[in-house]
Each structure stands twice: as structure tokens, then as C-alpha cells.
């Protein structure tokens, strides 16, 4: 089940009112640092839902107050807001209080996953592997930093505790370059996470309702899978269910991804990022509760490998959101 996930493998729970179409409001854009990516993802989701037969409208919350917005003409909301407000539980809490069904994780799970240090705390408590790390508060002085990172083995990764798309991330940091790396991270978020760098291959596992699609190995053209490698470079290679990696290892990655997402209470469409030091030795990096959904994004890529079109994936996400409201 974990490796050969196909449209029938999810089961009947997502077949809510098959054939019935709905009025869907897709939220995209916003004013976070990931606005451009969100606009692209939201447009792709809207087109996919229209292809599935739904009545779709796009709304940019950067220009509308969702507390005052009239949702009466819609059956369900599909948030595609990357970054702050979209993935930190903000929009989810508004929709809950407004009584609107919505696709994806609730506010609590979203906040847990968005704040990487909180997610890592949960994983450590339940015994899931994640690199050792420390969290710096906004007032941490150079002396505080030196004391905190003393127990970590360089090279290190310095990143905003809450941010996506590799914004503000510095990899391979050593003590002499720590201060500028922290300053760059704080430009994106005041709290900074510093963790041990784990060498090895980058992998990701896309999930739908905590069921895994085929795992993807990521081979960036540059040394690290940073913002440029994700959105600009044409040299990054994505190996979906690579044949040179044993099936058992990929199944292990899928099971770990499921455990990571379930431990945070994640639902809907999500993505779990990992690094694999050697065969069978993976480390959890983060869970993304609203992953990119453009045609070239990782989740649609994994879904296609399992026989799902983007239209089918988005359609099922809408039906599952409505089913939960019964």
C-alpha cells in the first residue's frame, strides 16, 4: 500500500457525493514572503478544480478582510496561502470561527508544523529522528548564541523558525559565519532555529490524508536545495520512486513521513521533507501543510506517479473537507 498508491488505495472516505460539484473559494496570494509562489499554486488549484467541474473563484486576502468577507455563496474554502497567515493557523482559525469548511489541517496542526522547533519537539517526544537543534529568541546576544550552539556539531544550518521556500536559510554555517547567517534569518522571522547539518540525499514524501504517494529523491544542480534550486534552476533533478534505491528503504521513508504528519495532527494535502544519510537512516526536517501545487511542484509530481491528476487530487481534497463537516 505504501509504495504503489493509486486512486483506489485511499479508500471510499474521499468519495463524498461523487458527481456533485461545489462552489469553491481558493485563497491565494496574501502578503507573506511567499506571495509569488502562492499566486502560482492557487491559480493551478483553481484551474484543476474547474477541470473537475466545480464552480471556482479566486480571492487574494491581501485585498480583503476575511473576518468581514461574505462566504455565503461558497460551500468550501481551499487555502493556498504559503507562509505566515496561511500556514501558521491564522486563516484556519478565521475560517473555523466563520463556520466555513476548508481544505487541509486545522489551526493547531498548522501552527505546530509551521514552527519548526515545535514540530521537532513533538517528534523527539514520540521518538522520531530529527537533527539536534537549538532555538534562539529575538533578544539572543552573541554570547547567548555561543553558549547555546556549543553542544552542536558543525557545520550547521541556520534558518527562520517559521518560514518556507528556504527563505533566510543558510547551510554549512561555521562559528565564524554564524552572526551574518543569524541576521539574515531574522530578516525573515525573529526566532531562529540552528540545527546540525545532516549530509546525504534530500527526499520528500507527499501525503493525502496521511497516506503517502511515491517518495521523491531531489538532486539539486548546486550543493544545496535552496530557493534558487527550487524555483529558478533547471538543473535540479527529481527522481520519483528511483529504481536504484531498494523498495524497502522507500517504504521506510513513507512510513516515517506518515508518522511525522500524524504526530502533528496534519490532514489534507501535505509534504514531509527528509534527509537520508545512508540507506535506511533518514532524518525529519519539516512538514509543509500547504505545499506548492503548481504543475512543476513536488506534490503534483508525486500524485502523477501514482496515477492521480491534479484535478483528481484537488477534487478529493474538497470532498474530504466537506465529509469532515457531516
* pTM metric for this prediction: 0.92
| Residue among 25, 112, 121 nearest 73 (CA) | 25
pLDDT tens per residue across span 225-267: 555 555 555 778 999 999 999 999 999 999 999 999 999 999 9
Residues 6+ apart with CB under 8 A from 171: 155, 157, 197, 223, 224, 226
Which pLDDT value is given to residue 165?
Answer: 63
Helix axes 247-264, 116-125, angle to 10 degrees: 110
Which pLDDT value is given to residue 227?
Answer: 58
Q: Is the CB of residue 26 less than 8 Å from the CB of residue 59? A: yes
User: Over the range 231-259, which residues count as b (16 or more CB within 10 Å of their CB) and which as e?
Assistant: beeeebeeeebbeebeeebbebbbebbbb
Domains parsed from the chain with CATH numbers = 12-103+310-323 (3.40.50.20), 132-196 (3.30.1490.20), 199-305 (3.30.470.20)
Helical H segments across the chain, by residue range: 35-51, 90-97, 107-114, 116-125, 142-149, 178-188, 227-231, 247-264, 298-305, 310-323
Which pLDDT value is given to residue 163?
Answer: 78
**Under DSSP, is residue 38 helix (H, G, I), strand (E, B) or coil?**
helix
| CB count in 10 Å sphere of residue 154 | 13
How is residue 215 annotated by DSSP? P
Which pLDDT value is given to residue 230?
Answer: 59
Element (H, E) at 26: strand 23-27
Bond before 133 cis per omega within 30 degrees: no
**Under DSSP, is residue 136 helix (H, G, I), strand (E, B) or coil?**
strand
Please give the chain's pLDDT, 326 residues, in tens: 344 444 444 444 445 566 799 999 999 999 998 999 999 999 999 999 999 999 999 999 999 999 999 999 999 999 999 999 999 999 999 999 999 999 999 999 999 999 999 999 999 999 999 999 999 999 999 999 999 999 999 999 999 999 766 788 999 999 888 999 999 999 989 999 999 999 999 999 999 999 999 999 999 866 665 555 555 557 789 999 999 999 999 999 999 999 999 999 999 999 999 999 977 799 999 999 999 999 889 999 999 999 999 999 999 999 999 999 87
Which pLDDT value is given to residue 222?
Answer: 64
Amino acid at each position: 500500500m505504501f509504495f504503489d498508491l493509486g486512486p483506489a488505495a485511499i479508500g471510499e472516505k474521499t468519495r463524498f457525493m461523487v458527481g456533485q460539484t461545489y462552489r469553491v473559494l481558493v485563497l491565494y496570494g496574501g502578503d507573506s514572503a511567499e506571495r509569488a509562489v502562492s499566486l502560482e499554486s492557487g491559480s493551478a488549484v483553481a484551474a484543476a478544480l474547474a477541470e473537475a467541474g466545480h464552480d471556482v473563484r479566486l480571492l487574494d486576502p491581501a485585498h480583503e478582510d476575511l473576518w468581514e468577507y461574505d462566504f455565503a455563496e461558497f460551500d468550501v474554502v481551499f487555502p493556498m496561502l504559503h507562509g505566515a497567515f496561511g500556514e501558521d493557523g491564522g486563516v484556519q482559525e478565521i475560517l473555523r470561527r466563520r463556520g466555513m469548511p476548508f481544505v487541509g489541517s486545522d489551526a493547531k496542526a498548522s501552527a505546530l508544523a509551521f514552527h519548526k522547533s515545535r514540530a521537532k519537539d513533538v517528534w523527539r517526544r514520540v521518538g522520531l529522528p530529527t537533527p539536534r537543534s537549538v532555538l534562539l529568541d529575538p533578544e539572543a546576544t552573541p554570547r547567548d548564541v555561543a553558549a547555546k550552539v556549543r553542544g552542536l556539531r558543525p557545520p550547521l544550518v541556520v534558518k527562520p523558525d517559521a518560514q518556507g521556500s528556504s527563505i533566510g536559510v543558510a547551510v554549512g554555517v561555521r562559528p565564524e559565519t554564524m552572526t551574518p547567517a543569524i541576521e539574515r534569518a531574522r530578516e525573515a522571522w525573529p526566532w531562529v532555529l540552528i540545527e546540525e547539518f545532516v549530509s546525504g540525499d534530500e527526499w520528500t514524501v507527499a501525503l493525502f490524508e496521511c497516506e503517502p504517494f511515491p517518495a521523491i529523491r531531489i538532486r539539486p544542480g548546486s550543493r544545496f536545495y535552496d530557493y534558487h534550486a527550487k524555483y529558478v534552476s533547471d538543473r535540479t533533478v527529481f527522481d520519483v520512486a528511483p529504481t536504484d534505491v531498494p523498495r524497502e528503504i522507500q517504504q521506510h521513508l513513507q512510513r516515517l513521513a506518515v508518522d511525522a504528519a500524524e504526530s502533528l495532527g496534519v490532514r489534507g494535502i501535505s509534504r514531509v521533507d527528509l534527509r537520508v544519510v545512508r540507506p535506511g537512516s533518514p532524518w525529519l526536517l519539516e512538514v509543509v501543510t500547504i505545499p506548492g501545487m503548481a504543475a512543476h511542484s513536488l506534490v503534483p509530481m508525486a500524485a502523477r506517479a501514482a496515477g492521480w491528476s491534479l484535478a483528481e487530487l484537488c477534487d478529493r481534497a474538497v470532498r474530504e473537507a466537506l465529509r469532515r463537516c457531516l
